[in-house]
Amino acid sequence: MGGGAEPGNLSDGSVSKDQEADVELGFASMRTVAGHRIVTLCMNPALDITTSTGTVLPTDKMRCGATRYDAGGGGVNVAHIAQMLGAAATAVFPGGGPSGEMLNSLLMAEGVVTHRIEIGGSTRESFTINELSTGLQYRFVVPGPEPTLAEQTECLLRLRGVATSAAIVVASGSLPPGVPEDFYQQVANICIDLDAILLMDTSGGGLTHVDSGVFLVKPSLRELREAVGRELTTDAEQLAAAQELVAAGVARYVLVSKGSQGALLASRDGGKLFAPVSVPPGSGVGAGDAMVAGIAVGLVRGWDLSQAVRLGIASGAAKLLTPGTAPCTLKDAERLFEQTESPVDIDLVSG
């Protein structure tokens, strides 16, 4: 173990604010400051609305069950879950209108420190419908408001101010309409200036328009396929594609989430496979965000990267046990962490 918490007690292991720890991160070493706050940036947050109905049909009115409201969007979810896992987390995000007010209130009620940048547009709402007759889930996601250039600049300025003493910065989620595809490179530049570790979870242009400053990026297998334009059916093909992103400067490490098949961690020097944790099928909404939150919490505790990824896998699995976009629980994450296995090297010959 790389220092910090014992596996069964994720809330222990913090060190004094100024204590530095040498941390061996899988394939290479780096220095980090353990015990500082995790800061997340979510440029396209959403008020997540979840309900259920017997059968989803066209045209007909469908009577729904009770409605659940959650604060959502990549970086918002990461901050919320990191807080539930015992870390101190701050969420930076643009928000406007009644939905933005409600999202902010929901986060504050859970103890998450928020820095909301007021914008003229209204925060988007996303809808999840659980079909009771089949167990299928339908998700409806709208684009979100288009922030002005001044609002985008204010988000970056606020992030720089809030992240001054952060050990980990997480940039997660899609970019809203009107935000340039290299926006996350601007975030990376801030993290370089602040000497903060940047974890990134995005797709499309936000993934391919970064060439420096990111420690780890977490695409799904689908997002990796889209980034390189190939099918990627074997472990060796997936590792080669992930290493292309490393070679292009997108990140030092690429962690490919593969759902029920676990995860693949790639660096310039090699790759490792992480087995999944078996849990009953449930809502997959926010499971990837839970994975990123678990990794961030592990790193801020001073754990090595492989161990932090195992916590990420446990947290993602724990998320499947909760309704809608509710965060996973510390108890479930601790229990499932005990079931995670050490990774194995990828055989490049057999794939």
Do the Cβ atoms of 128 and 324 come closer than 8 Å?
yes
Calpha distance 262→349 (Å, rounded): 20
Quickly list DSSP for 159-182.
HHHHGGG-SEEEEESPPPTTS-TT
Candidates 48, 201, 289, 304; catalytic one: 289
Other C-beta atoms closer than 10 Å to the C-beta of 247 total 9
Calpha distance 331→260 (Å, rounded): 21
Q: Which of 216, 229, 223, 222 is nearest to 255 (CA)?
A: 216
Calpha distance 158→41 (Å, rounded): 10
Calpha distance 82→177 (Å, rounded): 27
Calpha distance 80→292 (Å, rounded): 12
Residue with tokens 């941390």: 23
Backbone angles phi, psi at 266, to 5 degrees: -120, 145
For residue 31, give the H/E element and its range. strand 28-33
Do the Cβ atoms of 191 and 198 come closer than 8 Å?
yes
289 among known catalytic residues: yes
Calpha distance 1→149 (Å, rounded): 45
Give how far Cα 237 sits from Cα of 228, 255, 262, 342, 346, Å: 11, 14, 16, 22, 11
User: Which residues are catalytic, by number?
Assistant: 289
